[in-house]
Amino acid sequence: ILNVEQSPQSLHVQEGDSTNFTCSFPSSNFYALHWYRWETAKSPEALFVMTLNGDEKKKGRISATLNTKEGYSYLYIKGSQPEDSATYLCAWNSGGYQKVTFGTGTKLQVIP
């Protein structure tokens, strides 16, 4: 199984700070890259699915970029709020609906 790596593993930021984290994946056999937000005691929720090199997606204060040639994606949160506290998972889809490999996540804690 090829690895998907996320960094950092965890981080704490102050409310109002902007932050970003990284998802690295194999650059071969790329089909799509997923980002999910997983709040404690809730279900993981899909944020973005990106398929094209250079893709940029935005939802409110959260955005993501994708570089398939070098195998990385960045997730950015602008002006972090306490409700952004969650684990952010990325998943590399290497072809077909089922070939999805998940990273271990970045756990974000926003301090009021």
Partner 1 sequence: DGGITQSPKYLFRKEGQNVTLSCEQNLNHDAMYWYRQDPGQGLRLIYYSQIVNDFQKGDIAEGYSVSREKKESFPLTVTSAQKNPTAFYLCASSSSSGLEGYTFGSGTRLTVV
Measuring CA to CA, which residue among 4, 3, 2, 1 is closest to residue 73? 4
- Contact flag: residue 97 with partner 1 (CB under 8 A): yes
- Contact flag: residue 60 with partner 1 (CB under 8 A): no
Q: Any idea which residue has 């952004």 for tokens?
A: 84
- Contact flag: residue 105 with partner 1 (CB under 8 A): yes
Reading the block at residue 33, the tokens are 């890259």
- Contact flag: residue 67 with partner 1 (CB under 8 A): no
What phi, psi does 84 have (nearest 5°)?
A: -80, -10
- Contact flag: residue 28 with partner 1 (CB under 8 A): no
Q: Which stretch binds partner 1 (CB under 8 A): 10-18, 29-37, 62-70, 77-85?
A: 29-37
CA atoms of 67 and 78, how far apart (whole Å)? 20
Residue of 28, 42, 60, 83 that binds partner 1 (CB under 8 A)? 42
CA atoms of 95 and 77, how far apart (whole Å)? 28
DSSP 4: -
- Contact flag: residue 100 with partner 1 (CB under 8 A): yes
Give me the residues that bind partner 1 (CB under 8 A), please: 1, 4, 32, 34, 36, 41-46, 48-49, 51, 89, 91, 93, 96-98, 100-105
